[in-house]
Structure 1
Amino acid sequence: MRVAVAQPASTDDVAANLAEIARLSEEAAGLGAEVVLFPEYATYEKKRLDETFARAAQPLDGPVCAELASTARRHGITLVAGVVEASPAPDRPYNTLAAFSPDGTLAAAYRKIHLFDAQGQRESDFISPAPSAEPVTFDAGGVTFGLMTCYDLRFPELAAALAEAGAQVLALGASWVPGELKTQQWRTLSAARAIDNAVFVAGSCQAPPISIGSSLIIDPQGDVLALLGPDPGVVVADLDLARIASTRLEFPVVEQRRIPSSRP
């Protein structure tokens, strides 16, 4: 399967973001990609979270997702993108990754579990956490993808749960906040989650200045198959699923995993 990670520089202009998603999707489809992954907050983004995210929120059957579904259908791709989803709390929407099948139907929606309350920011002041910590997966072309968002990458338990739920590719959408060693951490943690679980990791990250870029695709042994720099763009890689089986034969980490209990 050929997978693309797209790297836009999203802003608070929803129409412009949707146009950029459509443009990069067309480019990815032209490169033969079957699945195209966009980052967290692909349809609405600012340097810091504020009350405008609530005003930008829409339900998953609203106009923003309808446009994403149309783009998926037009290019015959599975499209995954970060949206601001209306929640029961009017002032605190969900940070959601929505996946659309080639026929435009909603294949999955993952609401971010681990909100970014770190580095002096408090995502939880403006965003509601997922009501459930259950792993979310979807199938595309016979391949199972597991959804993760940004700060989730620092919590290996979620990646492990997705692998045990059958995920062969961790589809990671991010807007990784810049800072000292942050690019190194993004690449290291992405490789670690691939190695930890003997799966592929496809990580799409927002471009600078809001984020760090460095969108990537990593194989189950930690080999970087594709990597973008700081500029907006698209990169593709062919995923050889036999690589998962051969890696797990050598390192049967999923089969052998035992989670120690912290309770007496």
Structure 2
Amino acid sequence: MRIALAQILSGTDPAANLQLVREYTARAADAGATLVVFPEATMCRFGVPLAPIAEPVDGPWGDGVRRIASDSGLTVIAGMFTPSGDGRVRNTLIAAGPGSPNQPDAHYDKIHLYDAFGFTESRTVAAGREPVVITVDGVTVGLTVCYDIRFPALYTELARRGAQLVTACASWGSGPGKLEQWTLLARARALDSMSYIAAVGQADPGEALGGSGAPTGVGGSLVASPFGEVVASAGAHPDLVVTDIDVDRVADARESIAVLRNRSDFARADRAESIG
């Protein structure tokens, strides 16, 4: 399977960002990819009010992504914001495939919110609850967003639901050691889930947005194999990374390393029963 990671630099205009999706998807199609993955906050970067930007997943921006997928013959995964109904938004991935109707046609709402490193995502974003897997060209793909990558249980759950490839779409916060953590976490989640990880982030905006306090990207998009190897990677600037993945290696990893099969339940301190 040939996949593409579109490491873009989103602005604050959803229409201009949708045009970026169209341009990078066309490049991915020309390169022979069947799946192109965009970052979290593709619709609009962080650091501005999101409620006025948010649209339903079947609104104009989401429909624009669906048209791009249909026109290109690719499956497109991209980050957007949808209304939550309580004044906040949801941090959503839309996944749209080719065809009419689009197949797949799904979305995932980010489960783990980024209340860390001095940023409080939960003030303006409501959490999702349900893991999501889709099928692209016969390959089962799990969907995750940014801070999710710090929570191994989500990745092993997606693997139990059949995921062979998991996308981690991010707008990673900058700071000392953060890029190294991003790379390490992607490789670790690949080993946890015995899956390929397609970790695609926003490009690094540099000093222009570095003082906003919002997570606006550090670049460093990468694909990690189920054995934890870095298969392909990007630098700091906008880029399209195209690489082939061999999903047979997922079965090989799960048979040889076998951490999914060898998992064991154990007593937790808050649930343990006294035996004394």
TM-score > 0.5, shorter chain as reference: yes
Structure 2 distance, partners of 1:246, 1:141, is 20
DSSP 3-state at the match of 1:225: strand
Query: Which protein shows a greater Rg?
Result: 2
1:166-188, Cα deviation, whole Å (9 max, x unpaired): 10001110001011100100000
1:30 aligned to 2:30?
Answer: yes
Equivalent pairs: percent with the same residue? Answer: 40
Structure 2 distance, partners of 1:69, 1:246, is 34
> Paired residue for 2:66?
69
Shift of 1:248: 1.6
Give unmatched runs, 5+ long, in structure 2. Answer: 206-215
Q: Is the 8 A contact 1:24 1:233 kept in 2?
A: no
User: Of 97, 102, 124, which aligns to 1:101?
Assistant: 97
Alignment of 1:219-234 (within 5 A): 219-234=225-240
Q: Is the 8 A contact 1:7 1:38 kept in 2?
A: yes
DSSP 3-state at the match of 2:135: strand
The CA RMSD over aligned residues, in Å, is 1.1
Q: What amino acid is aligned across from residue 119 of structure 2 in structure 1?
A: Q
Superposed structure 1 runs of 4+ greater than 4 Å apart? none
Q: What amino acid is aligned across from residue 42 of structure 1 in structure 2?
A: T
DSSP 3-state at the match of 1:204: strand
1:157 aligned to 2:163?
Answer: no
User: Of 241, 249, 252, which aligns to 2:255?
Assistant: 249
1:37-67, Cα deviation, whole Å (9 max, x unpaired): 0010101113x3x5x2011010011000011
Give unmatched runs, 5+ long, in structure 1. Answer: none
DSSP 3-state at the match of 1:55: coil
> May I ask how many residue pairs the two structures share in their alignment?
258
Structure 1 distance, partners of 2:194, 2:81, is 31
User: Of 124, 132, 138, which aligns to 1:136?
Assistant: 132
User: Of 168, 173, 191, which aligns to 1:172?
Assistant: 168
> Paired residue for 1:113?
111
TM-score normalised by the chain length of structure 2: 0.91
Q: Is the 8 A contact 1:135 1:165 kept in 2?
A: no
Structure 2 distance, partners of 1:162, 1:192, is 15
> Paired residue for 2:42?
42
